[in-house]
Every structure is written in structure tokens, then in C-alpha cells.
Structure 1
Amino acid sequence: MQRKILTYAIAAMAAALMSLSPGEISDMVLKADLLEDEGKYEESNKILFQVLKADPGNKDACWMIARNYYNLGEEIPHSKETEAKKLAYYEKCKEWSQKSIDNNPQVAEGYFYLGTGISSVVLVQGIARNLNKFKEVEKLWLKTLDMHPTYSTPTDNTQANADFALCQYYRKAPESSIMKLLFGTRGDLDKAVKYCGEAVKILPNRIDLVKEMGVVLTCRGVRRGNQQDIDAGKKWLAKTKTMEADTKIDRIDQEDAQRIMDNPKLACGYSRVQQEEVTEVKK
């Protein structure tokens, strides 16, 4: 009897989801988006999975699920003990980004988060052993910008995210000509500073962007022996401490900004995932 009641309840729930109006589905997507902004990633995904049951072709649900999985991975401090768990979240980010692209190829966010998922796996596994992935990631993020994405909230913006990602990309990728010869791309600190500047113009109050502006200027200053860049970078890093931290990731970024101020030599190899600077590329 209990099994029958449970079956009827599940069927009734499924029917209710299938009968949702477009307006109700839009409200659910908005609620999931707001939960993500509050750092409630698992709660956000629960709603998004319901959205997909009601509207399997929804243009936003898959990439938003990918974004939540990426953020869940970012919240976990990197260590040998946590590596597998972080990788699992980043792989989920890749999986759901690809679903977004397959179902809605006109939506730029799918390409952005696929590049983000791949790059996050690269950072966990190590840059030196994954240099062959760099060109693919660069193409995905440049494609995101070429599609002129329009998604924007007071704290999130796909264009700014792609600019931010490309800044980190050109800071972390080796600058050597051998890198360009072997893999078709290479790092470029001037490009990195330019892209981060574009991101900060769009979202000047986001801690991760302000932090990265400080990191990339410090990196360029250290690598080129330019004290002016180092001093400018320190000002940006110090600014993060005056900003309100709304999420666990914000607090991690504030702590990391202080670490870079204390030791500027960490800037070029810095990421939330782990410290790794690769300057030489072997044939």
C-alpha cells in the first residue's frame, strides 16, 4: 500500500512539473540564479533539475548547473585528499556545459563553462602535463566573446567572466616561442592585463576580478622587474580587504590576495586550485 501511495505521489509531482507555465519556469530559473549568487549551489541545482523535468530544452538550466558544479569545486581547498572531489565537480561542469552546447548551441555560456571546466581540470592535474589543452580552452573563451553574450546581473556577467578567464589564461600559459610552435598559443602578460581591465570595468565590485587585477600586475612587475607594476598590483590586492565578502569563495580570494601581497613572487603561478608556474616548454 505504501509503495502504491509513493508511486502515485511521484506521478502527481511529475504531472505538476509538466504542467508548469512558461512564467512559472522563468521564476524557477530566476530563483536558482539568486541562490547561486548567495553561494547556495546545491539548492540552486535542485531547482534547475526540476526546471529540466518541466522544460527539457530550457536554454539556461544546463549551463547554470555547470556553473554551480564549478563553484562547488572552487570552494574546496586543494590538497591530495580533496583532489578527487574537486576533479569530480569540474568534470560535472564539463558534462553539463556540453549538454548546454548540444541542446542550445546559440547560448554563449555553454562554451564559457566548458572552457572553465577543462581549465580547472588542467590546474588540478598540473599545467605542465596538459599544455596540449591550452589552445582548446583559448578557443572556447574567445568564442564566448565573439558571441556577444548578454547574460548580466549586478554580480555576474558572461562577457566579464570570459575577459577574466582569458586574463588568467594569458598569465598562466608559458610565454615561450616553443609553446607557440608546439601548441599554437602562448602566454602574454600585456594581453592578460588588458583583458582583466575590461572585466573590472564591467564588474568593479567583484572581489575575484579585483584580486586578479592585482595578481596580473604583480606578476608582470615581478617577471619584468617593474616596481611600478608591483606597487599598482599591491593597491588592487589591498582593495579586496575593503570589499564585502558575500560567499566562501570571496573569503578565499581575500586570503589569497594577502598571500600575494606578502610574497609577490607567487603571483605568476597563482590560482585558487594550486601554485604552479610553468615558464619552460620542452620539445
Structure 2
Amino acid sequence: MQKSMIAGLWFVLVSMGSIQAAPKTYEVYPYDASGFERHPDLHNEWAALREKWTGKIAPQDALKRQYDLMATLSGREPHWIDGYWIAADAAFQYGNSFKDKSDFPIARASFAKGKAFAENCLKIRPDNPLCKFYLGVNLGKIASIDGIFSSLKNAKIVEKMWIETIESRYQHKFGPNTSLQGAARYALGIFYRLVPDLVLLKWLFGVKGDLSKSVAFHKEALEFDAPNVCSRTMLAVAYICEGKNDFTTPSGKLGFAQLQEARKLPVSSALYASCAKDLPRLEQNPKLACGYETSRQQETSEEEFKKQQDQGK
């Protein structure tokens, strides 16, 4: 695993009413490959698929096979911590490959399995930042399918998992341009945009949105990881939402500029393809910005929240 030390970065995070600063440096996560080493046949097939499709849009059957291999490995190695988060990632990647609404039940089932892998890990090692990150990721994707307002009971857990990830002392490189600390900030940027900024939400569920935090976390993510089409797109919609969905406001102009930057970047994964496909409609209709998510457009208005509460959803 490539060594990565991130130095000299300070950010302001308001959480639980206090201001906390990120550590100056991160230790390299102590990755353990022993589970792979004990099962070379499974590892060799998994590694070959990873190598073949890195930097490309992997077909669904390849993602499914990677998931199946990791599910088998984690079953054979119930105490291998790193096997659990790798399996949770495989479940997320496979689930995220389904884009048609008719396939959402399959996607949701995959995310639920990813959630279970991360939970099993945290039962053994409650402080593991990668398992916390992937618990948040898979819960977040379940929420994107069920609808943000229908999933608010889990919002505090998701926020907690990602905040604790960035407060961890560890950094881990998933690939040349993607890291744990960058990905957690990217996720928090989306979280604070999709969860509405309503006092009532804070009272009922202990969380509320914050567009300033959303923009700040997306900008920090770009300090950790090289820009990609989705990181630019998500920063763009955070800016546009902050600018009241109006390209003529200062924030709206910054958001439109980020959409143009996103167009210049390569599409090398199914997730990036989703973001790239959505760029034209975001440019044509900035009102989509606040509720934009790659799985489905989310409803974020106070009126809709109150309506769902009245209906008992």
C-alpha cells in the first residue's frame, strides 16, 4: 500500500456545539492482507478483476464476482477486519451499478449486505475508521433509495460514522487518486446538502443540513484527492444550492464554473459516468441542485418534510 502523509491542513468543524481541528498529519492505516494470503486462489481472482477494471467502467458481472469473492472470504475469515470493509466496498460498488429504478430492490439488498459487513467489523473493532466509513456509505445509499425523509432515523449514525472517520488518525489510499480522508469529506459534503437545514430536524433527529459545511467539506476533499467528475459535480451543486439555485448569484456562478470543469474530466467508473450524464440537466435546471443525488433526485423542501411527518412516514 502506498504511503501517504497529509500535512499542514487545518479545517474548522462545528460538531456537537464545539469547534475541533483536524490533526496536522495522518498515520498510514495498518492494512492487514493476511486473509488474502491464506486464500491465494480467491485473492488472485479478485486482484485480477481489480487490475483489469481499474480506471475503466467495470461491467456488472465483474462487480458481482468481486462481491461474491469477498463475501466468501469474509465468511472463511470471520476475524479478518480488513476483509469486512473490502467486502462492504464490493457490496457498495455492485449496488451502485444499478441505475434503473426497477433494479433498486437489488441495489438496496446489496447496500444492506455492505452495511452488515461493516457492522460485523465494528463489533470486533469498534474504532476501525474504514468500517465506520463504509457503514456510513452503505446506510447513505440505502437512504438515497428509500428517500432522505424516510431515512432520517439513521442520519445521526451516518454523520457520526463519517465525522469519526475524519477525526481518526489514519489515512488510507484506495487508489492513486482516492483516499479515505478525501472520500469521507466528499461524503459529508453530500450529507450536509441533502439533509435540509431545518431546526425541526435537529429537534427530532439530532441533525440538520448546512450548506457552508457542504461547500467546505467538498473543497477539503479536493485538497486530499485529485479532482474527478463527481467531486467537481458535487462541489458545483453545493455552491448552486447555496446560491438559491440561481446561476447569477456569486455562489451560483462558482457552481456553474465547477460544472464546466467537471465536463473536462475523464469518465473511468460507473459512478463517474452517472455524474457526467447528469451534467447537462444540472446546467439546464439549477433547481435540481439541492436534492441532486446519482441514484434519484431527493426531495429536500420543508413543505415535503412536514407533509411526510403528517402522513406518518
Question: What's the TM-score once normalised by structure 2's chain length?
Answer: 0.75
| Residue equivalent to 1:177 | 199
Matches of 1:259 and 1:219 in 2, distance apart?
15
**Structure 2: segments with no counterpart, 5+ residues:** 1-33
Matching residue's letter, 1:141: W
1:31–1:148: structure 2 CA closer, same or farther, 3 Å change rule?
farther
Q: Is the 8 A contact 2:172 2:180 kept in 1?
A: yes
Bigger fraction of residues in helix: 1
Larger radius of gyration: 1
Alignment length (residue pairs): 265
| Residue equivalent to 1:112 | 133
Matching residue's letter, 2:187: A
Bigger fraction of residues in strand: 2
| Residue equivalent to 1:3 | none
Deviating 4+ runs (over 6 angstroms) = none
The superposition leaves residues 48-91 of structure 1 with CA deviations (integer Å, 9 ceiling, x where unpaired) of 34644664432321111111211222221141x22211211111
Helix, strand or coil: the match of 1:82?
Answer: helix
Q: CA deviation at 1:225?
A: 8.2
Helix, strand or coil: the match of 1:163?
Answer: helix
1:176–1:52: structure 2 CA closer, same or farther, 3 Å change rule?
closer
Q: CA deviation at 1:160?
A: 1.0
Q: Is the 8 A contact 1:109 1:149 kept in 2?
A: no
1:90–1:225: structure 2 CA closer, same or farther, 3 Å change rule?
same
Matches of 1:129 and 1:21 in 2, distance apart?
42
Q: Is the 8 A contact 2:218 2:231 kept in 1?
A: yes
Matching residue's letter, 1:162: A
Q: Among residues 128, 148, 153, which one is paired with 1:132 in the alignment?
A: 153
1:145–1:36: structure 2 CA closer, same or farther, 3 Å change rule?
farther
| Residue equivalent to 1:4 | none
1:214–1:21: structure 2 CA closer, same or farther, 3 Å change rule?
closer
1:238–1:19: structure 2 CA closer, same or farther, 3 Å change rule?
closer
Matches of 1:69 and 1:193 in 2, distance apart?
28
| Residue equivalent to 1:186 | 208
Identity of aligned residues (%): 23
Q: Among residues 227, 232, 235, which one is paired with 1:210 in the alignment?
A: 232
1:160–1:45: structure 2 CA closer, same or farther, 3 Å change rule?
same
Q: Is the 8 A contact 1:35 1:44 kept in 2?
A: no
| Residue equivalent to 1:83 | 104
| Residue equivalent to 2:4 | none
The superposition leaves residues 220-259 of structure 1 with CA deviations (integer Å, 9 ceiling, x where unpaired) of 1125886121121112112222111112221111011222
**Structure 1: segments with no counterpart, 5+ residues:** 1-17
| Residue equivalent to 1:9 | none
CA RMSD of aligned residues (A): 2.8
Matching residue's letter, 1:170: Y
Matches of 1:19 and 1:176 in 2, distance apart?
45
1:250–1:225: structure 2 CA closer, same or farther, 3 Å change rule?
closer
The alignment status of 1:92 with 2:113, answered yes or no, reads: yes
Q: Is the 8 A contact 1:118 1:137 kept in 2?
A: yes
Matches of 1:85 and 1:211 in 2, distance apart?
26
Matches of 2:71 and 2:202 in 1, distance apart?
42
The alignment status of 1:278 with 2:300, answered yes or no, reads: yes
| Residue equivalent to 2:255 | 233
Helix, strand or coil: the match of 1:60?
Answer: helix
Matches of 2:206 and 2:36 in 1, distance apart?
48
The alignment status of 1:200 with 2:227, answered yes or no, reads: no
Q: Is the 8 A contact 1:69 1:93 kept in 2?
A: yes
